[in-house]
Chains A and B, each alone.
Chain A
Amino acid sequence: MSQATLAIRRISGHAGPAPGAGVERAEQVCKLVDTTTCIGCKACEVACLEWNGYAFSQTTFNNSYQTMPTTSWNYWNLIKFNEHEREDGALMLLMRKDQCMHCAEPGCLAACPADGAIVQYTNGIVDFQQQNCIGCGYCVSGCPFDIPKFNSNTKKMFKCTLCSDRVSEGLEPACIKSCPTGCLHFGTKDDMTFLAEKRAQQLRENFGMEKAGVYDPQGVGGTGVIYVLHDVSNPEAYGGLPKDPYIPWVVQFWKGPAKWIGNLAMLGGIIGVTLHYLRFGPKQVNGWKHKEGGKP
């Protein structure tokens, strides 16, 4: 059994706050993906598979350089290739590393009903604890990025762990280490944001990409994976990156107001029953009365 542990900040399906949350301080870790320097070599895909011990899947050809249409339960990291027509009519390939975004306010964790199946560590990593997963798939409906994937053999959900095993030992994730062009960076959220902003400024000032910017959506509280995009006003062009991702309102209502409405209804029922008993006494059937200390 593993001895490596990480302190929990948030926990799914848990009544009350996460025990011990806020006690320990840890740096927020973050991946920075500079899509302008990605060459689509897919070294990160291979390194991810190799580190996590998954077999190389049969790839599908779909008139694209993309390995397969989407990520899967045993393929957590996929470069999405998108042909994009620029305003001057030239074609360009937009390549984006698609993986779990490790949101600061994770929709999967909010939607999960199983106690402790999804946890957020104090360093910001959102991780699935498969031994607690009940395989209901609600995390899929909570995720705005379509990341959690179901393994039909084990009936559990899987996704990128941000190499929590490596990060907890002080190493960088496997994908980050392999990247030969240096388009992937890893560090604290502050440092990565600084680097990303600097790179975006460089693109705007020196490369004529007026719309270059940093993708760090605030709808999910910011993410643990941030992108530098050529055109931050159109993230959909990068293989369906949502412009303004948010946790679906059904999940928000279910995990927010609906819970309190339910609690109030339950409490109201108990109070009503008690008041009824005090006001009218026990129910009497046809004059039958319970006698103290004896048979009726």
Chain B
Amino acid sequence: MNSSRRDFLKVTALGGSALSLLGFDLAPAYAQVRELKMARATETRSTCPYCSVSCGILIYTIGDKAKNVTPQVIHVEGDPDHPINRGTLCPKGASLEQDILNPRRLLKPQVRRPGSDHWEDISWDAAIDEIARWTKKSRDATFVAQDAQGRTVNRCEGIAFTGGCTDTNEFNYLVVKSMRSLGVCYLENQARV
């Protein structure tokens, strides 16, 4: 059978249009979904710092812990293996990523002077010096060596201390030791709230 180039083109064009009319579809049968943003990120277990429930969290950071990578948090969610929360989080805990990434996060010590209406920056050294000075002054002013009946009590009623729920046992041991040595009675912890 002889066929010219013209015939070949005719048959191709006709066949192609017939196929497309009869439902031969080159459109994809699959649609892409967004890449799982934590697919190969490093997963680190931690504890939510907010309240006394101390939910377990998973922190996802970029990179695979390779030497040349500086990790940064990209996502935080509940730890399903943690017996307390089993993967759930409260609204505040669900926003934990913002605890690290929010530009309004507090990065340096600040002080609000008595009677002042604003916070001012202070260096760590100045802050520690000032805390020490006020502690000494308050303790000297409010220290009670003996109560009204003449019993030795050695307590400092002008100072209180409060801790947070993520404070470790070791930290709390030191806190209690140092505060008791000052005579502080009002020791409180946010974990009791």
Binding site for B on A (CB under 8 A): 1-8, 11, 14, 16-21, 23, 41-43, 45-47, 50-51, 53, 56, 115-116, 119, 121, 127, 129, 161, 164-166, 168-169, 171, 174, 177-180, 182
Contacts and interface: CB of A to CB of B under 8 A. Distances in A.
Given A41-B90, A41-B91, A116 B78 contact: no
Contacts of A47: 77, 89, 94
Q: Of B25, B34, B35, B92, which is in contact with the most chain A CB atoms at under 10 Å from its CB?
A: B34
A16 to B, nearest CB: 5
Contacts of A129: 31-32
Contacts, number: 107
Q: Of A11, A166, A177, which is in contact with the most chain B CB atoms at under 10 Å from its CB?
A: A177
B36 A166 contact: yes
B20 to A, nearest CB: 10
A166 B75 CA distance: 13
A232 B124 CA distance: 60
B30 A127 contact: no
B145 to A, nearest CB: 49
A101 B116 CA distance: 52
A277 B30 CA distance: 46
Contacts of B36: 4, 165-166, 168-169, 171
Contacts of B35: 2-4, 165
B37 interface: yes
B66 to A, nearest CB: 22
Nearest to A51: B75
Contact of B31 (A43, A50, A56, A119): A119
Q: Of B23, B31, B32, which is in contact with the most chain A CB atoms at under 10 Å from its CB?
A: B31
